[in-house]
């Protein structure tokens, strides 16, 4: 249950909070969504670096449960990031400038 709530927080709540702050700053939905994507991408890449290190440690210590949990977390981060970028491209096209 803890892993599911962690994934839901990382996928849903974190980008929504950044989106609201970006909208309050820019007063434009596209710019706020783009800012959210940039920040979320950087946060995800940093998390993936640390998660890949944790996966390596779990593999080297033969911790199968830790390996599975961290792998699911990493895969969900990549899938959610791809989903957000694809939704941006479908809605607003490929204009990635502010």
- The answer to whether residue 15 is domain-embedded is yes
pLDDT of residue 49: 93
> Can you read off the two tokens belonging to residue 40?
């979320």
Q: 29-60 vs 64-92: helix axis angle to the nearest 10?
A: 160
Q: Which domain holds residue 59?
A: 2-90
pLDDT of residue 86: 94
pLDDT of residue 63: 86
- The answer to whether residue 96 is domain-embedded is no
73 contact partners, CB below 8 Å, separation of at least 6: 3, 6, 7, 10, 51
Q: Count the domains in the chain.
A: 1
- The answer to whether residue 98 is domain-embedded is no
Interatomic CA distance for residues 60 and 33, integer angstroms: 39
Q: Which residues of the chain have pLDDT under 70?
A: 1, 3, 7-8, 10-13
The pTM (predicted TM-score) of the whole model is 0.79
- The answer to whether residue 27 is domain-embedded is yes
């Amino acid at each position: 249950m803890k892993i599911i709530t962690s994934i839901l927080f990382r996928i849903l709540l974190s980008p929504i909070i950044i989106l609201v702050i970006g909208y309050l700053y820019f007063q434009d939905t596209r710019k706020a969504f783009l800012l959210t994507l940039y920040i979320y991408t950087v946060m995800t890449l940093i998390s993936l670096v640390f998660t890949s290190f944790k996966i390596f440690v779990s593999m080297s210590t033969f911790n199968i449960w830790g390996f599975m949990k961290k792998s699911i977390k990493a895969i969900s981060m990549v899938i959610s990031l791809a989903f957000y970028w694809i939704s941006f491209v479908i809605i607003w096209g490929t204009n990635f400038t502010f």
